[in-house]
Structure 1
Amino acid sequence: MRALVGAWRVLPLLALLASLALAQGSRDSLVPRGAERFDAGRFTVVAYPADRPLARSLLAEAQRRDTFPGLPRPHARVLIAVAPDARRFRDWIGPAAPEWGAAIAFPALQRIVMQGRTAGSDAGDPRSVLRHELAHLALHEALGDLPPRWFDEGYASFAAGEWGRDETLATNLTLLARGMPTLDTLEAGFYEGAAEAEASYALAFRAVSDLSELDRERGLTLFFRYWKETGRFDAAVRQAYGITATAFEKQWQERTRRRYGMLALVANLSLATSIFLVAFLPLWIMRRRRDRRRLEALRQADEIAEREARALDALLGETPVPDAAPEPPRG
């Protein structure tokens, strides 16, 4: 399962600094023994020689797309550490991070830790992963601790263009069985395992996308400005879009349920039909063949019995009874 995990202050941030031997806020500090450092603009990438092509690609991508929807251009310096293997990735991010994480961002320190070339296929495109994590840093640089977890993750997915998350909603019967969560209860889903977190990411992405669509021309620009000025999500929604936060939440719930609820039902029914056909079609075919063999055996038995009856009649010298009396002569 693909999962892009954002940054949270509950993680042991100092574990990264200790492992990398990097002083907070300084790009001129030491890098791990045997690793290399690549600098361009406001970005520094630290990687081992085996990940040198990846490091250069990430550095170029970070510079090429260094703006984020609705936010002012970031200026903070960023360190991107590419872990050479799974063990060091876990060591650098600390034990509190989820197992399914492909990368972790530390907004307060403007740090990102990513898996390198040894990452599995479920880690996703490293360029999209980096874009997701950089969006966390940009949002934190602009708004500090104002965004709740659901908005932080939803915005990072939105900025990274992770439209494939809609597929998760299109196969999720929870939308029909339990109903849509509220934005507040959506928070809990990020801590309840990979499957539940994946659904929460998709719903958060949909919420931020729907919010941006309320103003086709300016998107999230005015909303972010008012959010920073007032410090309140509901006030920013009202000033930017002319509706209350409660009204937006209901609109998001209804649109998501209507858009993806029936898709989930159809997808699951299709899956159930496929499972049924795979499980029972061979049995049906076997039964049809058995019935045909049985009918053929009965037909052959009837033919044999009829031949034996005729042979017995001939042996006894009996004359077969005609089927009908001869027609009398005419005229």
Structure 2
Amino acid sequence: MSALTFALASGRALSAQTPNAPGVRLDAGRFTVVAEARDARLARTLLTSAQANDSFPGLPRPTSHVLIAVAPNAARFRQWVGPHAPEWGAAIAIPDEQRLVMQGGRAGSDAGDPVVVLRHELAHLALHERMGRLPPRWFDEGYASVAAGEWTRDEAFETSLTMVWRTLPSLDRLEEGFFAGASEATWSYAMAYRVVSELQALDPVNGLANFFSYWKSTGSMEKGIRQAYGMTGEQFEKHWKTRTRSRYGALSLVTNVSAVFGLFGLILLPLYVSKRRRDRRKLEAMRAQDLAQEQAARASALQALLDAGVEPALEPGSDLDDAVGRAAGPTGVSGVS
């Protein structure tokens, strides 16, 4: 077992560094960051960010010591997290241990901004420190997204055609989406973000602070909403759905209709251009054919007149004018009697 792995398994910082298992340990305030040497720069960035922004909406300032483990690769990340890590996760918080594991510098582009990811996971730990196991999964994820300022969650509503026709779930059923695969989980994260955002906006002065206090003291989210915001849970549910649909429903429709027309345009434009080119070639071929037929008809008529010994009446400027002019004498009269 390497020194870094030992630190993760025991929950303690690195006790030593060895040539076979190089690692770094950084300590500041209530945070300890452990990582392999190649992720040392990332570890310093994470530690600085965690210290600089260590308060969370509606919660008292956290005091628990937090261990942040930076996994060197995806395989090690899954190993440290265990068999229950979602396949789309870039990081995971373990609230009971006040520990989080996140991917390091070799993470894929879908892992997101590591500073934002760290903030999201630290919000989970802060919420757990204050509220324990009271928050359901949907609230936990929605709160972490709000605390991390993940505005891109709104994009799921702005660009999703499902906003036009899909029934928004009840808060009780919102929980199920986090266990139904990556696509459904993305939608559930976005909805959870909207719910917590709307809850926070109900009190522009205190935000979520009073709600958390009432929820903690009563042990009931329903009672916390009633006492903090003066509405029932059912009334709040109707409120957030109405606000969300009015804000994003039409936008989603316009966005997707525009996308559909754009897609059809990309498909049909080459066909239209190709058809125009074919039509133009056909028209040019028809014109050339008509001209050839006209010239052949004129030549045939002239030959018929010459064969009959009849001098045709020519119009000035015609092709036969030149021929007759060349056959005439100096006085313009044919030399044939």
User: Which interval holds the TM-score relative to the shorter structure?
Assistant: 0.7 to 0.9
Residue 246 of structure 1 deviates from its aligned partner by 0.8
> Which residue does 2:327 correspond to in 1?
none
Residue 316 of structure 1 deviates from its aligned partner by 2.1
Q: CA separation in 1, counterparts of 2:38 and 2:112?
A: 19
1:135 aligns with 2:135: no
TM-score, normalised relative to structure 2: 0.85
Q: Alpha-carbon deviations, 1:268-315, whole Å to 9, x = none?
A: 222222221222211111111111111111122122222222222222
1:279 aligns with 2:267: yes
1:65 aligns with 2:65: no
Q: Which of residues 142, 145, 150 in structure 2 aligns to 1:157?
A: 145
1:179 aligns with 2:161: no
> Which residue does 1:260 correspond to in 2?
248
User: 1:320 and 1:264, CA in 2 relative to 1: closer, same or farther beyond 3 A?
Assistant: farther
CA contact (8 A) 1:168 1:202 kept: yes
| SS of corresponding position for 1:184 | helix
1:194 maps to a residue whose letter is: A
**Which ranges of structure 1 fall in alignment gaps of 5 or more residues?**
1-16, 323-331
> Which residue does 2:66 correspond to in 1?
78
Q: Alpha-carbon deviations, 1:114-134, whole Å to 9, x = none?
A: 111111111111111000000
1:209 aligns with 2:197: yes
Residue 34 of structure 1 deviates from its aligned partner by 2.9
1:250 maps to a residue whose letter is: K
Q: Alpha-carbon deviations, 1:222-266, whole Å to 9, x = none?
A: 111111111111111111111111111111111112222222222
1:113 aligns with 2:101: yes
1:23 aligns with 2:10: yes
User: 1:298 and 1:166, CA in 2 relative to 1: closer, same or farther beyond 3 A?
Assistant: same
> Which residue does 1:294 correspond to in 2?
282
1:220 aligns with 2:208: yes
CA contact (8 A) 1:224 1:236 kept: yes
| SS of corresponding position for 1:196 | helix
Q: Which of residues 24, 49, 56 in structure 1 aligns to 2:44?
A: 56
Q: CA separation in 2, counterparts of 1:49 and 1:247?
A: 53
In terms of mean alpha carbon deviation, does 115-124 or 170-179 score higher?
170-179
Q: CA separation in 1, counterparts of 2:8 and 2:63?
A: 24
TM-score, normalised relative to structure 1: 0.87
> Which residue does 2:30 correspond to in 1?
42
| SS of corresponding position for 1:218 | coil
Percent same amino acid at aligned positions? 57
Q: How many residues align?
A: 305
Q: CA separation in 2, counterparts of 1:259 and 1:153?
A: 22
Residue 35 of structure 1 deviates from its aligned partner by 2.2
Larger-gyration structure (1/2):
2
Greater length-normalized contact order (CA 8 Å, ≥ 6 residues apart)? 1
Q: CA separation in 2, counterparts of 1:320 and 1:201?
A: 92
Q: CA separation in 2, counterparts of 1:196 and 1:288?
A: 45
CA contact (8 A) 1:76 1:141 kept: yes
1:165 maps to a residue whose letter is: R
| SS of corresponding position for 1:256 | helix
1:238 aligns with 2:226: yes
Q: CA separation in 1, counterparts of 2:27 and 2:218?
A: 37
Residue 27 of structure 1 deviates from its aligned partner by 5.4
Residue 89 of structure 1 deviates from its aligned partner by 0.7
Q: CA separation in 2, counterparts of 1:90 and 1:27?
A: 20
User: 1:117 and 1:192, CA in 2 relative to 1: closer, same or farther beyond 3 A?
Assistant: same
1:273 maps to a residue whose letter is: F
User: 1:262 and 1:30, CA in 2 relative to 1: closer, same or farther beyond 3 A?
Assistant: farther
User: 1:86 and 1:144, CA in 2 relative to 1: closer, same or farther beyond 3 A?
Assistant: same
**Which ranges of structure 2 fall in alignment gaps of 5 or more residues?**
316-337
Residue 113 of structure 1 deviates from its aligned partner by 0.4
Q: CA separation in 1, counterparts of 2:13 and 2:215?
A: 32
CA contact (8 A) 2:14 2:24 kept: no
| SS of corresponding position for 2:101 | strand
CA contact (8 A) 1:68 1:138 kept: yes
| SS of corresponding position for 2:93 | strand
In terms of mean alpha carbon deviation, does 299-308 or 142-151 score higher?
299-308
| SS of corresponding position for 2:88 | coil
